[in-house]
Structure 1
């Protein structure tokens, strides 16, 4: 697991990743940024690139990281250690709802870092740790809540902006958590 990773190391890695995006993103000073993603950026390009940059920042070989697979409704981690950087890749049908993003655990804060193809979203969103894990569980079919509301809250994109009609149950089949 990329750990320990500080917010400043994450900012440095984020700026390195943003510089490589097409079109390049503007650098950020802190994780408390209002910068928005470019709709040309795919989450499947941005999230792995950022994970690679974080690993370079802290001197960890990205190929040494462990990836756990979870099926929909499976018990998910309820926390990660402080200063952990985690990549989460969610897959299911319809595939247009699939998403790949990163989080940094910073005390009682989880920073969600993302891009979303064909959408403009905040690059970084701040969550209370307990709220993030509750939303993640709801999204994954294991929480007490509507997956579509959790999707919107986490990713700033309504699932009905991506696909219509929405699946009754979560679309999610598998997710891969790299830490």
Structure 2
């Protein structure tokens, strides 16, 4: 490689097998559904499962199993083995999981890398007031090794950042105070 191109960040990328790289989000969405099944409240599991499925835009795929947790796990398996899913579908599932976790007062069992992908997606699709909060900033997860953007750093948990950008929480990532 010659000239200025050798100084560009992507020009120094190591070559390798990219066969595992895919835009298909079936597995991640199925994992989100399985995580939601584990958060269903014992006293109102059926209503919580139906609400999750509605928010996740999976109503047409929901099964008829009588036990809500079994129904959710069956849905996860149908998603896992069904047609390809886009990041938009994963974002809807993550939003539904974050709402369920918030309503239960429990932490969301969400993979930080999944939360990062969804947060990046949501950063371009969030309402203008939420995009304004992160505009001109670097958004960095405190519990994972991902960040996006440029400028002064705003930091939060990966799930917290995703929740803010998806409109589930009103708690934005916070400025990082420089260490002395």
Q: Per the shorter chain, which TM-score range? A: under 0.3
TM-score by length of 1: 0.26
Structure having the larger proportion of residues in helix? 2
TM-score by length of 2: 0.26
Higher relative contact order (CA 8 A, sep 6+): 1
Find the structure with the greater CA-based Rg: 2
Structure having the larger proportion of residues in strand? 1
